[in-house]
Structure 1
Amino acid sequence: MAFDKHGRMTATAPPLILASQSPRRRYLLEQAGLTFAVIPSDFDEGSVLLANPADYVKTLAEAKAGEVARKYPDSWVIGADTIVTIGNAILGKPGDPREARQMLERLSGQSHFVYTGYSIVCKNKHTRVSDAIKTDVQFKDLTQDEIDWYIQTGEPFDKAGAYAIQGMGTFLVRRIHGSYTNVVGLPVCEVIESLIKMGVVRMNAENPKGLAV
């Protein structure tokens, strides 16, 4: 069953699908003026073996997009996956306050990388574009009081690396080098560029606030 971005049931296959339940990715694409349906992928992420970060997130993005595209072969499907790395470690979503504290203490005063892979696919057109974007993020030195407060907000628990740069976690970040939206969960510049180059969307002269699909 397909739903549009407002949660309404759609009768036919939508032309553009976001294969993610992430509210952050949905918001970013809405802000870019896109009209699309949200159909989260059921792909088992644990079935993909860890590789170098860029290949790993790109493989996951392709798998998520591909899983939904098989159900909607005439639609253009966007899949994405984001991870945080520091040193040789990948930081996922913390399962409890202890894990969140460990992650935040490890990131404190350090630089880390955020990788987001994205894939845009249309099965019946035999077309796919995929890429992985990396952003360098540096944290401020965090005090234990700051870490305690941030954990108590509850924000870290569904975020890779235990923080949300677009939320209250913005105060943790000293500087970034690269795409800001990539850290939020989707490199919007690259995704929109790809959609335009592939002819999926175009600038809508009659509605300057939106993109025509």
Structure 2
Amino acid sequence: MYTHSKQISIGGAPAANAKAALIMLHGRGASAIDIMRLANELNAKDMTVYAPQATNNSWYPYSFLAPVEDNEPALSSALSLIDEVVARALADGFTADKIYFAGFSQGACLTLEYITRNAKQYGGAVAFTGGLIGEELDLANYKSDFASTPVLITTGDPDPHVPLNRVKESVNVLKGMNANVTLKVYKGRQHTISYNEIALANQLVFL
């Protein structure tokens, strides 16, 4: 088991000139630099981009559907690191409603888990193939109000890592907390991010 070192890549527009912050979370086996390239495809040119790096390129060791205790202490360490990134964005002058999130796969699961445990009015969030974390969802962790934050969740059906039933379960949790959730399911799509998903993210979240 491991805890995450505090490596945060920062790019995009300088904070002093930016209109918003974008926190990006990479997938298993990828890197902060990898996910930051995705920002070039999003309507994020006026945003400061923050991308933390997972130790050993993995946020937690097992499937997101494993019992939470099996993924500790890595999972708690990952959530704590995102907390530090959010604190950095706030210190750079961005209010919560100007902070956006985007993640893919393991990073999408972590994105949803973080924002749902810390729900408030954010700028928006995109989870490219992800769901809330745990063998069973602990609803006691999800108590606050998103105040109509736009959230886009996309996935393939079937997906080899993320079952559609957990995605739908996650959508229901977020909707119950007043998130403005859009779910888009792509039949037969491979475990990747498609052009259509990027276009939808730009249309619904990165306006």
Compute the TM-score of the two structures, normalised by the length of structure 1: 0.36
Q: Which has the larger radius of gyration?
A: 1
TM-score normalized by the length of structure 2: 0.36
From the two aligned structures, give the one with the greater strand fraction.
1
